[in-house]
Structure 1
Amino acid sequence: MQHNKVTNLRLACAQVDGLVIRPGETFSFNKVVGNATRRKGYVKGMRLSNGQAKPGIGGGICQLANLLHWMVLHSPLTVTQRSTHSFDPFPDNGRVLPWGVGCSIVYNYVDLQFRNDTDQTFQLRVDVGDRYLEGEILADVPVASSYRVFAKEERFLRVGADYFRRNEIWRTVIDRRTGTAVRDELIRENVALVKYLPVDVPVLDVLL
């Protein structure tokens, strides 16, 4: 499944790489990448669906949506549509990004969309490197701010026999000229059913 995921990501990246987003334009993952079908060369990769990880045609391209969302959170672009998975499938072993910044993509009704509300033009660059999925956002002129994205209020809850995970995703906007933090922005509050047994973490029992 991992090998097939690379194949799928290469196909999806080819549709996104080099795309220009001008002032007032909106990027739609489903519109740009389209339906991941066998006819287009997509193969079975691991997909997260209905609370389970299972093989499916085009599986793995959500990882590209995850990367794009992470990049956009570090830019002046405005996220206008984004859905997350309703469950947390795996423990945090090796996690490099905060839990809760990923995306769910289901053609053609669950999408990632972001809009350029600035007077600048941006370009998306994405590729599958030797070991990692790689990407960057280029701008035609220097941007005024940089961004730091982080999670807080991480907690696990036990409700009956089920476990849930909650956190908040925040963003600090920083003046690039002075390096001063301008403001903190709450991006999203996450909650999801946990599909593994949390170990070595505090769990709060919730009584109904």
Structure 2
Amino acid sequence: MRLRRLRIPGDTKPVKRSSLRLAAGKRYFTWKRRLYWWFGGVTFAKRRETSPLPYPVFRYDTPTLRKLKDVEMWMQHNKEINLALAVRRLSGIVIRPGETLSYWRTIGKPTKRKGYMPGMVLFYGGFKAGVGGGLCQLSNLIYWMTLHSPLTVVERHRHSYDVFPDAGRTQPFGSGATCAYNYLDLMIRNDTEADYQLVLELREHRLYGEWRSAAASVLRYEIYEREHRITQAYWGGYERSNQIGRRTWNAADELVADELVAENRALMMYAPLLKAEGENDVNLSHKGGAS
């Protein structure tokens, strides 16, 4: 990683928008998404199975309670309530060949009436309490697992702000998927010939996830980071950027693909190169296959 000054003015400087414009934009994109769901010609996954498919593809888990700077723990506990409600909607869903899983179409709008609580929502480089807050942890988990599978990510949104330092990070920066109902969605299509099933569980303050399949997996994947930079913008702020790559290996341990899967740019909301208390070295790659 290297630090350099940006020579050509970019367009990353935050732009403050009025509450009226934000509300109008949200309404516009919400209805645009609904029209796409109804008339976009996409076959969405709907079927759920209580019994797991026979073959594991990839599993992963993350802690649900983390001590974050200036974030009160009640937001973290409310996040667990929100995650539990979303897990009930998603766990067991099967994506058949040709079908697409939409994160928000499956979960639905998180509202108080459905039991969702105020949790932490990132907002213009900071955070606030919002109903359904914390569901990005679930979309992050699903996206990370999907990168270790033959499934195709057809829509994913990166975080625009890097809010917290890398305290104990075990995945590359920018390897998650932000979400906001319903216009920032995570959509995953099954271009294989086998059924795939998403299995989720929340217990003992950990979120567990797994992709399973009707056919045995013959590929394994390595997710890695490249071109990681911290760049000073012309207006004085700092931008962090990188690329996420993926190497694919076959059953004979032969490299069959090395591809770019994501490019990330985010405004840093803390001093560059700041190391959080207790931070460990960052693991910038991850290998995974059937487990």
TM-score range, shorter chain: over 0.9
Cα distance between partner residues in 2 of 1:76 and 1:15:
23
**Cα distance, 1:41 vs structure 2:** 0.4
Q: What is the CA deviation profile of residues 49-91 of structure 1, one whole-angstrom value per residue up to 9, with x for unaligned ones?
A: 2222111100001110000001110001000011111111111
Q: How far 1:8 sits from its partner (Å)? A: 0.6
Is the alpha carbon distance of 1:6 and 1:200 closer, same or farther for their aligned partners in structure 2, counting shifts above 3 Å? closer
Cα distance between partner residues in 2 of 1:58 and 1:77: 27
Instruction: Return 5+ residue gaps in structure 1 as ranges.
Output: 202-208
Match in the other structure for 1:61: 135
Q: Any gaps of 5 or more consecutive residues in structure 2?
A: 1-74, 276-291
Question: Partners in 2 of 1:79 and 1:191 — Cα distance?
Answer: 19
Find the counterpart in structure 1 of residue 115 from structure 2: 41
* Contact 2:165 2:274 survives alignment (8 Å): no
Higher relative contact order (CA 8 A, sep 6+): 2
CA drift of 1:2 comes to 0.7
The residue number in structure 2 matching 1:170 is 245
**CA separation of 1:3/1:114 partners in 2, compared to 1, >3 Å: closer, same or farther?**
same
Query: What is the one-letter code of the residue matched to 1:161?
Result: G
Distance, in Å, in 2 between the alignment partners of 1:35 and 1:145 is 36
1:120 aligned onto 2:194: yes
Which residue of structure 1 aligns with residue 180 of structure 2? 106
Alignment-mate amino acid for residue 105 of structure 1: C
Q: Which runs of 4+ in 1 moved over 2 A?
A: none
Scaled by the length of structure 1, the TM-score of the pair is 0.93
Question: What is the TM-score when the length of structure 2 is the normalising length?
Answer: 0.67
Instruction: Quote the Cα distance in structure 2 between the aligned partners of 1:86 and 1:78.
Output: 23
Q: Does 1:185 align with 2:267?
A: no
- Would the aligned equivalents of 2:245 and 2:260 in 1 still touch at CA under 8 Å? yes
Q: Please, which of 63, 69, 91 is the counterpart of residue 165 of structure 2?
A: 91
Cα deviation code 1:138-160 (max 9, x no counterpart) = 01011221111111111111113
**Once the two structures are aligned, what percentage of the paired residues are identical?**
46
Q: CA deviation at 1:105?
A: 1.1
State the structure with more CA Rg.
Answer: 2
CA distance in 2, matches of 1:200, 1:30: 35
Report the AA paired with residue 59 of structure 1.
G
Please give the alpha-carbon distance, in whole angstroms, between the structure 1 residues aligned to 2:95 and 2:274. Answer: 44
Distance (whole Å) between structure 2 residues aligned to residue 9 and residue 60 of structure 1: 7
RMSD, aligned CA:
1.2
- The separation in 2 between residues aligned to 1:190 and 1:32, in whole angstroms, is 26
Map 1:3-42 onto structure 2 (within 5 A).
3-42=77-116
Q: Quote the Cα distance in structure 2 between the aligned partners of 1:168 and 1:185.
A: 10
Partners of 2:273 and 2:217 in 1: CA distance: 42
Q: Secondary structure at the match of 1:55?
A: strand
Superposed displacement of residue 200, structure 1 = 5.4
Partners of 2:122 and 2:200 lie apart in 1 by 22
SS at match of 1:38: coil
Whether 1:71 aligns to 2:167 is: no
The farther-off stretch of 144-153 and 161-170 is 144-153
AA partner of residue 28 (structure 1): S
- Whole-Å separation in 2 of the counterparts to 1:28 and 1:50: 25
- For 1:134 and 1:164, the matched residues in 2 are separated by 32
Aligned residues: 200
Matched ranges for 1:129-144 at <5 A: 129-144=203-218
3-state SS of paired residue (2:138)? helix
